[in-house]
Amino acid sequence: MMRTSPLRPDAPEPHDAPAATDAPAVATRRGGVHALPRPVSVAAPAISGELAHAGAPRRDALRRFVIGRPVWVTLPALFAASVLASVGMLFALTELMGMGYGPTFSRSIAIAVVAPILVTVPVGGFIIRLLREVDDARRQAQEMAWLDPLTGLMNRRRVVEIGAAELDPSRRRGGECAVALMDIDDFKRINDEFGHGAGDSVLQGVARALCEAADGVDHVARWGGEEFVVLMPGASLEDALAQSERLRTAVEGLTVAAGQGRPVRCTVSIGLATAGHLDGFEQLVNSADRAMYRAKAAGKNRVAVG
């Protein structure tokens, strides 16, 4: 089954998740042409940042302040906080112990101001550097857990997380969502004919073509082997059909230079499913999977709706 239709300009927003600071916001579905290419790597959307740090917003804000701001902002802020604490402590102790504000009190204030500054520079600088190194390591580990190393796309594990969050009944409030599951047609033939290196190049080329066609609106992921999945938050059946057709033609128009310079071309069969009111991500993918096999059986290089 093949149909095309324009995206509705008044299509609903994908969801109303607040933007997390360490991940770009999820783009909204919109009408018009998909013209801007985007890198293959797909960063974590806002929704994940929100879920990952749920329950510790205050600690997270502190973490973001310490590692997310330039040192010339963080260090003076630490100075100010430690000087305030030190001077405040001096006044509190003076009051509590009834020592009074004698002639030596101004000297005590000078010490209460200078001492924390002397400590903050080396110790604070060291701690900030350590925290940033830990955060870099955390990001790298997260990328390794979420990204497919060959294509740079999100992996199956990550898109399952995002899909589950998108379809969580408590968040959806009737919002639409679609999943397109696709499989490269006759991929074994490409591997057999051109070699596995060419097969890898084809997978990378398809990943890039899908990302360009998705244009940052939808989540593109490698599902496994020669299968890819595109999660379309906010897409009605009409939207999703138009987008699936765009994805299909993007791959159809792709030429990969592989296999001793010989151009390799390929197509995909796409199964499309849109979420019913109570559907979870797993049901949606299963439905898309059945539709994909119907697209294969009907002759490949086409879109079938589940």
| Cβ atoms < 10 Å from Cβ of 147 | 22
- The footprint of Mg ion on residues 162-201 (CB under 5 A) is 183
80 Cβ partners below 8 Å, 6+ apart?
none
Distance in Å, CB of 138 to Mg ion, minimum: 36
Tokens, residue 75? 């260090």
Looking at the Cβ atoms of 124 and 199, the one nearer to Mg ion is 199
Which phi and psi (to 5°) does residue 53 adopt?
-110, 10
Amino acid at 292: M
Looking at the Cβ atoms of 168 and 186, the one nearer to Mg ion is 186
Distance in Å, CB of 225 to Mg ion, minimum: 7
Query: Binding string to Mg ion for residues 40 to 59, with x set by CB under 5 A, is what?
Result: --------------------
Looking at the Cβ atoms of 22 and 183, the one nearer to Mg ion is 183
Our answer to whether residue 226 is catalytic in this structure is yes
Do 5 and 27 meet the contact criterion of CB atoms below 8 Å apart?
Answer: no
Distance in Å, CB of 279 to Mg ion, minimum: 25
CA-nearest of 256, 266, 102 to 183 is: 266
Q: Is 228 helix (H, G, I), strand (E, B) or coil?
A: strand
Distance in Å, CB of 168 to Mg ion, minimum: 31
Do 206 and 187 meet the contact criterion of CB atoms below 8 Å apart?
Answer: no
| Cβ atoms < 10 Å from Cβ of 6 | 11
Distance in Å, CB of 151 to Mg ion, minimum: 16
Looking at the Cβ atoms of 183 and 289, the one nearer to Mg ion is 183
Tokens, residue 208? 């890039």
- The footprint of Mg ion on residues 214-233 (CB under 5 A) is none
Tokens, residue 295? 């697209």
Does residue number 289 form part of the binding site for Mg ion (CB under 5 A)?
no
Amino acid at 256: V
Looking at the Cβ atoms of 275 and 288, the one nearer to Mg ion is 288
Size of the site for Mg ion (CB under 5 A): 1
- The footprint of Mg ion on residues 119-158 (CB under 5 A) is none
Tokens, residue 31? 């009408």
Among 161, 166, 212, 226, the active-site one is: 226
Looking at the Cβ atoms of 183 and 238, the one nearer to Mg ion is 183
Work out the burial of residue 124: count CB atoms within 10 Å of its CB; fewer than 13 is exposed, 13-18 middle, 19 or more buried. buried
CA-nearest of 296, 264, 270 to 199 is: 264
**CA distance linking residue 203 with residue 292, whole number of Å:** 18
Distance in Å, CB of 198 to Mg ion, minimum: 16
Q: In what order do the strands lie in the sheet with 177-184?
A: 219-224, 227-233, 177-184, 268-274, 303-305
Name the residues annotated as catalytic: 226
Q: Which residues lie near Mg ion (CB under 5 A)? A: 183
